[in-house]
Amino acid sequence: MLAACGEKQDEAAEVVRPVLFVTAQAEPSQQTGFAGSVEPQYSTDLAFRVLGRLIQRNVDIGDMVEKGQVVAMIDPAQLDLNLQAAKADMASAEAQYANAQATEERQVRLLATRSISQAIYDNAKQARDTAAAGLEKAKAALRKAEDERGFAQLQPDFAGVVSAVSAEVGQVVSAGQSVVTIARPDVREAVVDVPDNIAEDVKPGDKFIIFLQADPVVQTEGHVREIAPQADSATRLRRVKITLDEAPEAFRLGTTITALRSNGNHQEQISLPLSALLERDGKAYVWIADAQSQTVRRQPVEVVRRTDQDFIVQGIEAGQHIVSAGVNSLRDGQKVKLPQGEK
Q: What integer is the mean pLDDT of 198-217?
A: 89
pLDDT band for position 343 (cuts 50, 70, 90): very low
pLDDT band for position 290 (cuts 50, 70, 90): very high
Q: How far is CA 45 from CA 156, 157, 176, 267, in A?
A: 9, 11, 9, 44
* Residue 188 predicted with pLDDT over 70: yes
For residues 97 and 181, give the distance between their C-alpha atoms in angstroms, rounded to a whole number.
Answer: 47
Per-residue pLDDT tens over the stretch 105-141: 998 898 888 888 899 989 999 999 999 999 999 999 9
* Long-range contacts (CB closer than 8 Å, 24 or more residues apart) made by 248-252: 248/218, 248/219, 248/220, 250/212, 250/215, 250/218, 251/38, 251/188, 251/210, 251/212, 251/218, 251/220, 252/38
For residues 62 and 161, give the distance between their C-alpha atoms in angstroms, rounded to a whole number.
Answer: 6
- What percent of the chain is modeled with pLDDT above 90? 60
The structural domains of the chain, ordered by start, are 16-29+268-337 (2.40.420.20), 31-41+185-262 (2.40.30.170), 44-75+152-183 (2.40.50.100), 77-149 (1.10.287.470)
Per-residue pLDDT tens over the stretch 10-22: 545 567 889 899 9
Among 68, 31, 28, 38, residue whose Cα is nearest residue 155? 68
Per-residue pLDDT tens over the stretch 215-245: 988 999 999 999 999 999 899 999 999 999 8
- The whole-angstrom distance between residue 240's C-alpha and the CA centroid of its chain comes to 8
Q: How far is CA 302 from CA 273, 285, 305, 315, 342, in A?
A: 14, 8, 9, 6, 27
SS3 263: coil
